[in-house]
């Protein structure tokens, strides 16, 4: 029985699966368990961030840029908005929507950074690590733009209750799914193991 198992399971697939269980599935379980506490602490983290230079960069640079991208996606989805904003218009009335600095998804970048710290190993080449780093931050940025556009589209088409559920709970789940996909893709297609010959090059 042991011979059948060892001959049919690719060691690399086993290693990746084991890593995903330890670093993603178990954390996801604890996130579900402590989700109410996490949502409460999010407000505390936001107040702390407001006292830093990080907050000013988000508010003055990232928010206006994301508004343009989200507005474009909303137009493609058939959601009427006030020109130059993400203010959704329904039945001729404004729904008073906007993007605050705390809604752009900076928390997902923090989670990404933590997973990068735990996910990298010395056995991978430096260049492939840089590729994963760029894919991670760019992908997370794009994910957050799509997430915001999705929430506003749900508000327009399905109303406030569905929007609240998506904003508070669905976004957390989507973030975890994105993180799982990101690491699966990175391990399968991007990260390269170092050989003795290439180790000196990187």
User: Do 123 and 194 meet the contact criterion of CB atoms below 8 Å apart?
Assistant: yes
Residue (of 144, 152, 127, 132) closest to 178 by Cα position = 144
Residue (of 199, 184, 185) closest to 25 by Cα position = 184
Q: How much is the pLDDT for 110? A: 77
**pLDDT for 2 beyond 60:** no
Residue (of 145, 147, 138) closest to 169 by Cα position = 147
Cα→Cα distances 127→19, 82, 124, Å: 21, 44, 9
Q: How much is the pLDDT for 151? A: 95
List the single range of 47-51, 134-138, 148-152, 164-168 with lowest mean pLDDT: 47-51
User: Do 19 and 179 meet the contact criterion of CB atoms below 8 Å apart?
Assistant: no
84-112: average pLDDT: 86
In DSSP terms, which residues pair with 81 in a beta bridge? 88
Q: How much is the pLDDT for 107? A: 75
9-13: average pLDDT: 67
**pLDDT for 126 beyond 80:** yes
Q: Retrieve residue 57's tokens.
A: 């960069």
Q: How far, in Å, CA of 118 to CA of 9, rounded?
A: 25
Residue (of 184, 183, 191, 180) closest to 29 by Cα position = 180
Report which secondary-structure segment, H or E, holds 89: strand 89-90
Q: How far, in Å, CA of 126 to CA of 11, rounded?
A: 22
Q: In which region does residue 159 sit, left (phi positive, over 0), alpha (psi from -120 to 50) or beta (all else)?
A: left
Alpha helices in 63-186 (DSSP H): 63-76, 106-119, 126-158, 160-165, 171-185
């Amino acid at each position: 029985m042991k011979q059948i198992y060892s001959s049919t399971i690719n060691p690399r697939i086993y290693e990746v699966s084991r890593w995903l269980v330890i670093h993603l599935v178990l954390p996801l379980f604890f996130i579900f368990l402590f989700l109410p506490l996490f949502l409460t602490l999010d407000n505390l983290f936001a107040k702390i961030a407001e006292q830093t230079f990080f907050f000013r960069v988000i508010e003055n640079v990232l928010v206006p840029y994301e508004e343009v991208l989200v507005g474009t996606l909303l137009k493609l989805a058939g959601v009427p908005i006030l020109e130059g904003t993400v203010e959704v218009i329904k039945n001729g009335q404004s729904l008073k929507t906007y993007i605050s600095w705390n809604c752009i998804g900076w928390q997902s970048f923090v989670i990404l950074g933590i997973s990068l710290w735990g996910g990298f190993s010395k056995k991978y080449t430096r260049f492939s690590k840089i590729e994963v780093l760029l894919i991670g931050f760019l992908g997370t940025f794009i994910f957050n733009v799509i997430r915001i556009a999705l929430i506003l589209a749900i508000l327009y088409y399905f109303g406030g209750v569905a929007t609240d559920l998506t904003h508070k709970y669905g976004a957390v789940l989507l973030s975890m799914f994105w993180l799982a996909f990101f690491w699966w893709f990175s391990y399968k297609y991007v990260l390269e193991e170092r050989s003795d010959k290439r180790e000196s090059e990187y």
